[in-house]
Structure 1
Amino acid sequence: MTIGIVGLGLIGGSFAKAYSDNDEHKVLAYNRSKEVIQAAYNDKAIDGELNEGNIKDCDLILLCLYPQLCIDYLTKMAPYICKDAMVIDCCGTKELICQSCYPIAKQYGFTFIGGHPMAGRHFSGYAYSTKTMYNGASMVLVPEDLNDTKSIERAKKLLSPIHFGKFTICDYDRHDAMIAFTSQMAHVVSNAYVKSPTAKNHDGFSAGSYKDLTRVAWLNETMWTELFLENKKHLIKELDYFITALQEYKTAMENDDAETLKKLLADGKHCKEEIDGITGE
């Protein structure tokens, strides 16, 4: 199988290393930085550079750039892609890219499916990519037609060398609504939390809960700005829920209302138990 990978950051680099671990696969890659391309050559993660001349040989093309850059790349390269190929993007939001790329694929006769590998690391960039990053992780697939089982099964087969643990199939609106809660909210809250002046003096007073809540405050502000704004419809809705809940805790404490505060805390604990399937006493 020949795989084309567009973008050799953490996501694309990890795909390249995983596929190249099997000699049966040929990996071609495009990356703006020639230093990264050379590093991938040195690691034997790629077999060549992806271009207009050889993209037609690819069975699978993975778009691993920021959403708008993925759209721009596919718009430019679509005329050279084989009609038997499948293109899957790996962006963090789906509405914009799916609405843009479904028509491009239809025009040129190849298959496009939205994708989102649910895996990552604290640091970004090719240097931090690993061949095992996706082992056991979930891969979200967003086909244009949820009943297109042929394309869905083909995507799963093309991705099988990556060893995902689970595939989740949904439309782009459901994907973006869920990601607003499970990923984007966590980044917003963490990033805002560390802005407290008290954070500068945390050393000696912090343990696991502080580390858990602040882990994703360190982020790529360029990428997350694009993702937040693309998904603001769903993210603002989640922020409204959160701000309302915080105000309830604040009001209870301002009023020394122990009964209400205890109920709010119990409600949150019960929500966590229900989510995780924990049976309380």
Structure 2
Amino acid sequence: MKDRQALPALLQGRTVIVGLGLMGASLAKGIKDLSAAAFVAGLDRKEQPIFRGLEEKVLDQGAVLSTQEDSVRSLIQEATLIILSMYPDGILDFVSRYRETFSEGTVLMDICGLKGFFLEEAQRILPEGVEFVGTHPMAGKEKSGYEYGNGEIFLGANFVITPTLHNRRETLDQVRAMARELGFGRIREVEPREHDEVIAYTSHMPHALAAALVNSWLGTEDVISFAGGSFRDVTRVADINSALWAQLFCYNSQALSGELRRFSEILDELAQMVEQKDRPQIEAFLTQAAERKERWNREGDRYDDGSRTR
């Protein structure tokens, strides 16, 4: 457990987390795991996560958006770091609504799964001296809500920073140091639009395909009696926050629709091989996938030896 002054620079001041669902709660708990002396406040549309956070000493202060506006503005004005753990639809609205409340020197850091469509616009809205940094913690669970928050979900996970021309090198280095302290493994920087293109494949596609696989079954509802580990693994993320993921799919529609069409073409090719009982082609197809996956596993092992702790 660290003293407050031993924390990464970004966490030595007053941190305000907007949105106390799974990710926001996990960040709050992760920061408090580093140091009980760290100041963490929470803002949410609902009263319950604020109450629980205060009761569990995960939050030092909290306020309900819209109904406790004076307290909300006071916390925002005093914040040195504001973490936006919100649905994509809410980010620009929040930045616009509180534009005049942010203090000079404050850093706003979003953790949304998309970047290209709003990073520049958010920075344009903000007043001089307030910096907006895009990040994407590649961690989570299939469940949502404060009660599922856990700082340990970040241990060994990937963390992506999406800098723009408006970001200072010092700020980006501070974000990197904070992510490392929270237990993230591989931390990298990438251009926002490239982030969205790659994430369409590595994040949005798995969720879309898991949902499609579940929805494709037309037989008995007793399917789970025939399911093994592979079915559970592939369909795990189909237990999805549909409102959030519908927004992500639509905001990244160009990249995701392209990936889905490419996948559909590959499935058509595989279906043709199976119909024709073309065993050599099927074996070659499966071998190519196995070799590629093994190569990806080796790449991952270079960055994550499973020993990340706080």
Residue 112 of structure 1, aligned match among 116, 128, 132:
132
**What is the CA–CA distance in structure 1 between the aligned matches of 2:179 and 2:138, rounded to whole Å?**
14
1:95 is displaced (CA, Å) by 1.3
- Shift in CA distance, 147/60, structure 1 to aligned 2, threshold 3 Å: closer
Measured against aligned partners, the alpha-carbon deviations of 1:205-225 in whole angstroms (never above 9, x if no partner) come to 221111111101110111100
Matched to 2:79, the amino acid is C
Alignment of 1:48-59 (within 5 A): 48-49=61-62, 51-59=72-80
Residue 89 of structure 1, aligned match among 102, 110, 113:
110
Q: What TM-score, normalized to structure 1? A: 0.92
1:181 is displaced (CA, Å) by 0.7
Q: Is the 8 A contact 1:59 1:85 kept in 2?
A: yes
Alignment of 1:6-155 (within 5 A): 6-21=18-33, 22-49=35-62, 51-105=72-126, 107-145=127-165, 148-155=168-175
1:259 maps to what in 2?
280
Matched to 1:16, the amino acid is A
**What is the CA–CA distance in structure 1 between the aligned matches of 2:102 and 2:181, rounded to whole Å?**
22
Matched to 1:26, the amino acid is F
Q: Is the 8 A contact 2:133 2:167 kept in 1?
A: no
- Shift in CA distance, 202/271, structure 1 to aligned 2, threshold 3 Å: same
2:7 maps to what in 1?
none
Q: Is the 8 A contact 1:20 1:45 kept in 2?
A: yes
Q: Which runs of 4+ in 1 moved over 6 A?
A: none
**What is the CA–CA distance in structure 2 between the aligned matches of 1:159 and 1:59, rounded to whole Å?**
17
Q: What TM-score, normalized to structure 2? A: 0.83
1:14 is displaced (CA, Å) by 1.0
Matched to 1:137, the amino acid is A
Alignment of 1:182-197 (within 5 A): 182-195=202-215, 196-197=217-218
Q: Is the 8 A contact 2:106 2:131 kept in 1?
A: yes
Q: How many residues align?
A: 277
Q: Is the 8 A contact 1:112 1:143 kept in 2?
A: no
Moved more, 108-117 or 260-269: 260-269
- Shift in CA distance, 161/42, structure 1 to aligned 2, threshold 3 Å: farther
Residue 220 of structure 1, aligned match among 238, 241, 246:
241
Alignment of 1:163-178 (within 5 A): 163-178=183-198
**What is the CA–CA distance in structure 1 between the aligned matches of 2:57 and 2:186, rounded to whole Å?**
28
- Shift in CA distance, 199/137, structure 1 to aligned 2, threshold 3 Å: farther
Matched to 1:222, the amino acid is A
1:4 maps to what in 2?
16
1:246 is displaced (CA, Å) by 0.5
Matched to 2:48, the amino acid is E
Moved more, 41-50 or 57-66: 41-50
Moved more, 87-96 or 132-141: 132-141
- Shift in CA distance, 84/158, structure 1 to aligned 2, threshold 3 Å: farther
For the residue of structure 2 that corresponds to 1:87, the secondary structure is: strand
Q: Is the 8 A contact 2:161 2:190 kept in 1?
A: yes
CA-based RMSD of the aligned residues comes to: 1.9
For the residue of structure 1 that corresponds to 2:274, the secondary structure is: helix
What runs of 5+ residues in structure 1 fail to find an aligned partner? none
Measured against aligned partners, the alpha-carbon deviations of 1:20-69 in whole angstroms (never above 9, x if no partner) come to 33133111111111122111111111111252123222121100010121
Moved more, 186-195 or 202-211: 202-211
For the residue of structure 1 that corresponds to 2:133, the secondary structure is: strand
Residue 269 of structure 1, aligned match among 269, 286, 290:
290
**What is the CA–CA distance in structure 1 between the aligned matches of 2:220 and 2:78, rounded to whole Å?**
53
Measured against aligned partners, the alpha-carbon deviations of 1:221-253 in whole angstroms (never above 9, x if no partner) come to 111000000001111111122111111111112
Matched to 1:115, the amino acid is T
Measured against aligned partners, the alpha-carbon deviations of 1:179-228 in whole angstroms (never above 9, x if no partner) come to 11111110111101112123723233221111111101110111100000
1:160 is displaced (CA, Å) by 5.1
For the residue of structure 2 that corresponds to 1:168, the secondary structure is: strand
For the residue of structure 1 that corresponds to 2:83, the secondary structure is: strand
**What is the CA–CA distance in structure 1 between the aligned matches of 2:220 and 2:247, rounded to whole Å?**
27
1:250 maps to what in 2?
271
**What is the CA–CA distance in structure 1 between the aligned matches of 2:19 and 2:120, rounded to whole Å?**
21
2:68 maps to what in 1?
none
